[in-house]
Structures are given as structure tokens and as C-alpha cells.
């Protein structure tokens, strides 16, 4: 099993903690992803519904697809009106031409790119759109970047960083990039919750106990030493959310 696949599968055994500690997305990002009301939206790799809950009122019907039963259980509890289905990006359990928009939050880099893009194109209606969104470290937030380097050390063979916020604009065959937006915002959160958030990322989930403890200690040390966070129980986390909107090309 490749390292990317091993890390991706680590999410299959998490749910409530992911939902509680992971950040949401700024309203401006949702306005870019789904600017107008549509008939049907698919949130692919929906997880616990962090994005689903922001777009569910922008369509007559909302589908959420994810391979993790634990994550979908959280989503179903929060959003009983959403049509949540077990499945993967490479085998989407929806009919052809059944949705107007596919959105993917924090997950596109885990997909088998060619197989997933083929499936996304299949379920989209004519003139459908694909929206990709990532939350990531702000380039000027040194302490968060340092913590991210603990969780995602470089180089790591056969791994794509979970906090990565860039997208190869030409790497989505069958689609044309129409819009890119970078949205900067600040999230205020407890230091303890910030640390627990890191415990929900793939490298922590897949780590053995000594490695988990070592990485946690390194993050605590960064927060203890950096002038912006030392002695503070509440942190102001600068974030940058990047949104890509693609139009489906004619078949």
C-alpha cells in the first residue's frame, strides 16, 4: 500500500473529533463555489459535512459521498435531509448527469486523479461545475507553518501534504479552470483545540504512540516559544482558503 493510500485510509476511523476540531470555511468561499441556487449538488469526500452544512441550502437536493462510515454517521446526524451515501470518488454511487455542481473540500489530493475526474464528469450535467477548496496555513503565520511542518515533514516520498493549498491548474482533464479565489480570514480558537485539530490530520492518525507523542510535544514547544502564542490559551489563527472553480468541457 502506498504511503498516500495509507494516510488517506486513516480517516476511516475518525468522525466526531474531526467534526469538532476541524475548521469550517468562510462564507465568501461558499459564494464562489455555489453562487446561485441549483437543482443538485454533490459534496464528494464529504467527511462529517463541514462543507455540506454550508451548501445544503443552495440546492433542491444535496448528495454527500464518503467512504468512512463513522464520518457519514456524524453527517447524517447533523444533516438528516442530505442524501448521504457510502462511496468513493473513483466509484460515485449516483446516476449519469444527476448533479449540477460537485464540490470537494480538503480531499481532492487523496483521489486517484484520472478515475475520479472521469466519475465526476459522468455525474455532472451538461455545463456542470467542479469546485475545489482548501483551508491552509497563511504564509505570514510563522507559528502555524512551523506546526504544519511537524505534521507534514518534507520530503516524504509518495505523500501529498494535507495542508496544501495549491492546485495544478492543468491537472483536471475534461475541465477548464474559470476562477481562483484566495480568501484570508482569522479564526479564534483555544490552544487545546488547536492541538486537538492536529490530532485529526492523517499523519497523527496513522502514527504509533511514540511518534504521536513526539509530534504533539514539538507542537507544544512551538506554541510555548513563539511570541504570538507563548502563554496564551486562546490563539488567533490566520488562515488562507483557496477556491478553484472549473467548468466541464463538452464531451
- pLDDT one-digit tens code per residue, 5-50: 444 444 445 668 889 999 999 999 999 999 999 999 999 999 999 9
pLDDT at residue 169 above 80?
A: no
The DSSP call for residue 201 is S
Q: What whole-number distance in Å separates Cα of residue 157 and Cα of residue 3?
A: 8
Average the pLDDT over 178-200 and give the result: 96
Query: Which residue in 98, 168, 109, 141 sits closest to 235, CA to CA?
Result: 141
Q: What whole-number distance in Å separates Cα of residue 228 and Cα of residue 251?
A: 52
**Residue 236 β-bridge partners:** 188
With bands split at pLDDT 50, 70 and 90, how would you rate the model's confidence at 161? very low
Host domain of residue 221: 3-248
- pLDDT one-digit tens code per residue, 117-135: 999 999 999 999 999 999 9
Question: Tell me, what's the pLDDT at 126?
Answer: 92
**Residue 92 β-bridge partners:** none
pLDDT at residue 217 above 70?
A: yes
Q: How far is CA 250 from CA 49, 126, 173, 175, in A?
A: 30, 7, 12, 9
What is the reported pTM?
0.85
pLDDT at residue 115 above 90?
A: yes
Number of folded domains in the chain? 1
- pLDDT one-digit tens code per residue, 190-204: 999 999 999 998 889
Q: Using a pLDDT cut of 70, give the percent of the chain over it.
A: 87
- As a whole number, the mean pLDDT across the chain is 89
pLDDT at residue 139 above 80?
A: yes
Residue 194: give its domain's CATH number: 3.40.50.150
With bands split at pLDDT 50, 70 and 90, how would you rate the model's confidence at 229? very high
With bands split at pLDDT 50, 70 and 90, how would you rate the model's confidence at 157? very low
Q: Are the C-beta atoms of 16 and 196 separated by less than 8 Å? A: no
Q: Are the C-beta atoms of 148 and 198 separated by less than 8 Å? A: no
Question: Tell me, what's the pLDDT at 250?
Answer: 86
Amino acid at each position: 500500500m502506498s504511503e498516500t493510500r495509507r494516510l488517506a485510509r486513516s480517516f476511516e476511523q475518525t468522525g466526531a473529533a474531526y467534526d469538532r476540531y476541524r475548521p469550517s470555511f468562510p462564507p465568501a468561499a461558499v459564494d464562489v463555489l455555489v453562487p446561485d441556487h441549483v437543482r443538485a449538488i454533490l459534496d464528494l469526500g464529504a467527511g462529517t459535512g463541514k462543507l455540506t452544512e454550508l451548501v445544503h441550502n443552495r440546492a433542491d437536493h444535496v448528495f454527500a459521498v464518503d467512504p468512512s462510515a463513522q464520518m457519514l454517521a456524524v453527517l447524517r446526524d447533523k444533516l438528516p435531509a442530505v442524501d448521504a451515501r457510502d462511496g468513493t470518488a473513483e466509484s460515485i454511487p449516483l446516476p449519469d448527469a444527476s448533479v449540477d455542481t460537485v464540490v470537494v473540500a480538503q480531499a481532492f489530493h487523496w483521489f486517484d486523479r484520472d478515475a475520479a475526474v472521469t466519475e465526476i464528469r459522468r455525474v455532472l450535467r451538461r455545463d456542470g461545475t467542479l469546485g475545489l477548496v482548501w483551508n491552509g496555513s497563511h504564509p505570514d503565520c510563522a507559528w502555524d507553518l512551523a506546526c504544519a511542518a511537524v505534521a507534514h515533514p518534507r520530503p516524504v516520498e509518495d505523500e501529498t501534504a494535507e495542508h496544501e493549498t495549491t492546485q495544478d491548474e492543468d491537472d483536471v482533464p475534461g475541465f477548464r479552470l474559470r476562477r481562483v479565489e484566495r480568501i484570508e480570514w482569522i479564526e479564534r480558537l483555544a490552544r487545546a483545540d488547536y492541538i486537538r485539530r492536529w490530532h485529526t490530520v492523517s499523519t497523527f492518525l496513522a502514527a504509533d504512540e511514540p511518534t504521536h507523542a513526539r509530534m504533539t510535544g514539538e507542537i507544544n514547544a512551538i506554541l510555548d516559544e513563539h511570541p504570538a502564542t507563548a502563554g496564551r490559551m486562546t490563539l488567533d489563527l490566520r488562515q488562507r482558503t483557496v477556491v478553484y472553480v472549473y467548468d466541464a468541457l463538452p464531451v
